[in-house]
Chains A and B, each alone.
Chain A
Amino acid sequence: MKISVEQISAGYGNKTVIHDISLEVASGEVICLLGANGSGKTTLFKTILGLIRPLSGKVCVDGEDISHWPRQRLAKTLGYVPQAHTPPFAYSVRDVVLMARSVHSGPFASPGKHDIAIAEEALDRLSILRLAHQRYTELSGGERQLVLIARALAQQAQILVLDEPTSNLDFGNQMLVLRHVKELAQGGLGLLMTTHFPDFAFLCATRVALMKKGKILAIDYPEKTLTQASLEEAYETPLRIADAGLGMRVVVPRLN
């Protein structure tokens, strides 16, 4: 399955935030979206998810324009993983994951045994089945992020859109999430994620899109997109790209 963004421009009211963006996410890929605050990453996400209408251009799934798809059909294809949040009510972890099953049921239905099995399978895939009956609000940030990824898996969407899944997490949990992101892509899902750390793109992305002021500066595999010149342009800060051995690259920022 392939989702393609074709020459999208979008924004709020009269203000155009992103201009003429094109990119593709196919099954098995991890596309990292990098860019400074306000570069239009969130707007691009909202447009892809159908939360705001594009001013021009279109989003296609396997060549079919999705602008007229009903919400439920869209949600069967595209899963959204928001940043780990705290809802006002203390749902159990399994209930949070089960909410994804409303994608596959009628308006008055509530989840049955089959749905519970799928939810528990999704939790197990992320190795957090032991949390199933804990309260979601009492988990750590990293665990909550994994629960939200599990929810998208239970939704059985083919392409996942992850909004800064590593923000607000400690170092160990960031790596835990990245490890799962990579595993899910190897398992056949397509993933599109934003991050503030170029190093994370080196670690898990098959391709990277670098955004600035609503436009894509470069999009290609990480070593080609993320150069000293392109990153300095995108973030407007001096840096170096170093070789950390074993073929790993890291970005080293400089303060002067």
Chain B
Amino acid sequence: MTTAADPVVEDCQGHSQDRSQTDLAAPERAPRTWPVFVALWAALIILTIFSLLYGRYSLPWQSWWRVFFDQDSAGLESIVLLQVRLPRVLAAILIGGGLSVSGAAFQGLFRNPMASPDMLGAYAGAGFGASIGILLGFGILGIQTLGLVGGLVALLVVWVLGTAATRLGGDPTLTLILVGITVQEAGMALIRLTEYVADPHGKLAAITFWLVGGLSAVNPNDLKFAAVPILLGVIPLLLLRWKLNVLSFGEEEAKALGVNPWVIRAVIVLCTALISAAVVSVAGMIRWVALVIPHFARMVVGANHKALLPASFLMGSCYLLLVDDCARGLFALEVPLGILTSLVGVPFFLYLIYRTRRERA
């Protein structure tokens, strides 16, 4: 564009010429996002079918017919499909989508593409809650409930400390992140403490297995337990996604545009924490999904949260289905999903860093 060094006369002429042209020329159309969504839905459906049929116990597609229409002859097939594979696949869809939506919303709220919902302490809090549950010898429902409660309590602590600090002045979102990271670290230390005092031949292994993250143990009850809080978190985020655009311009501009930032921030933070805590409660600490997937969604559908949030959900679902299939099939022994998402997420993220640097240069 024009710079201060340009001759003034030319500059003015340039602008007036621009104007006479634009009054006549029709604007080009907005880029359409629906083909992307058609492709993402198709990918999700294909991956879902593949993931249901794929596995150590191989099942032809006719098994589904038998399970639904001829239950007497189904037998073991019915158990494998309905009790093992279906819950696992649905959990991957919900967890991958939920984490990605919460990541996209979180990055918009905090106006920082490097932000991730586990920064607000919900992950560590839920992990600590679940570890305590295992340590105390609770049943599976007790462990999951303690995990969910732990995540929400951690968020409450962050919110109370954060708003108290904000009253003294400064940027509320930055304050919240700083307090969140602190509480997160405290939670991780407490998790280490539960591991330290746990019986090394029994409960320590159980805690480690839980926290490393995976879907191998997900059964229909776990799915029900996680689905409610994840959907309770995802739906308000999707409903508020346009306001998220406004909020990403910062506190004062949002207010001047008629949006109350406190209310929306509270709802978004609560929803993302609910999703995080629910994920940790049934599947352990699956990391990097919430951070990485929104970036890819942004590359495909652009920054507008109206398209970004649904696209993130679909891409996150596909991604976790794919990674979970790898976890099941890559090696003779199942690799924990939480390890794979980190191993895949880190190089993705490095690639993003290089890419954004190159664009700026």
Hey, which bits of chain A sit against chain B, CB under 8 A? Answer: 12-13, 46, 49-51, 71-72, 74-76, 78-80, 82, 87-92, 94-95, 99-100, 102-103, 107-111, 120, 124, 127-130, 132-133, 139-140, 142-143, 155, 170-173, 175-176
Contacts and interface: CB of A to CB of B under 8 A. Distances in A.
B243 A107 contact: yes
B135 to A, nearest CB: 41
Nearest to B14: A172
Contacts of B248: 87-89
A168 to B, nearest CB: 10
Interface centre among B3, B14, B246, B298 (most CB of A within 10 A): B246
B72 interface: no
**Main SS at interface, chain A:** mixed
B12 A95 contact: no
Interface in B1-53: 1-4, 6, 8, 11-12, 14-15, 18-19, 21-23, 25, 27-31
B250 to A, nearest CB: 8
> Top 7 A-B pairs ranked by shortest CB distance?
A172-B11, A75-B258, A80-B256, A89-B303, A140-B1, A110-B242, A103-B258
Interface in B71-120: 108, 111-113
B153 interface: no
Given A72-B258, A99-B246, A133-B28, A92 B304 contact: yes
A171 B242 contact: no
B323 interface: no
B240 interface: yes
A128 B25 CA distance: 11
Contacts of A92: 30, 302, 304
A130 B22 contact: yes
B12 A175 contact: yes
A87 B257 contact: no
A241 B240 CA distance: 54
11 contacts: A12-B169, A95-B245, A100-B257, A107-B264, A111-B242, A130-B21, A132-B28, A143-B1, A155-B257, A173-B11, A175-B12
B181 interface: no
A172 B249 contact: no
A127 B21 CA distance: 9
Contacts of B113: 88-89
Given A75-B257, A172-B12, 8 more contacts: A12-B169, A95-B303, A109-B242, A124-B23, A129-B27, A155-B258, A170-B6, A170-B11
A49 B256 contact: yes
Nearest to B249: A87
A172 B3 CA distance: 9
Contact of A88 (B2, B112, B241): B112
A133 B260 contact: no
B30 A133 contact: yes
Nearest to A141: B1
A109 B182 CA distance: 36
A127 B18 contact: yes
A130 B252 contact: no
Interface of B: 1-4, 6, 8, 11-12, 14-15, 18-19, 21-23, 25, 27-31, 108, 111-113, 169, 239-243, 245-246, 248-249, 252-253, 255-260, 264, 298, 302-304, 306
Nearest to A78: B256
A176 B13 CA distance: 11
Contacts of A110: 241-242, 306
Given A80-B256, A102-B259, A176-B15, A91 B303 contact: yes
A71 B27 contact: no
Nearest to B236: A108
Contact of B30 (A71, A87, A94, A172): A94
Given A133-B31, A176-B15, A99 B245 contact: yes
B2 A71 contact: no
B257 A103 contact: yes
A76 B306 CA distance: 23
Nearest to A74: B258
B243 A102 contact: yes
Contact of A127 (B3, B19, B111, B298): B19
B157 to A, nearest CB: 27
A110 B309 CA distance: 13
A50 B258 contact: no
Contacts of A124: 23
Contacts of A142: 1-2
Contacts of B18: 127, 130
A140 B29 CA distance: 22
Contacts of B169: 12-13
A171 B8 contact: yes
A71 B255 contact: yes
A107 B22 contact: no
A133 B306 contact: no
B16 to A, nearest CB: 9
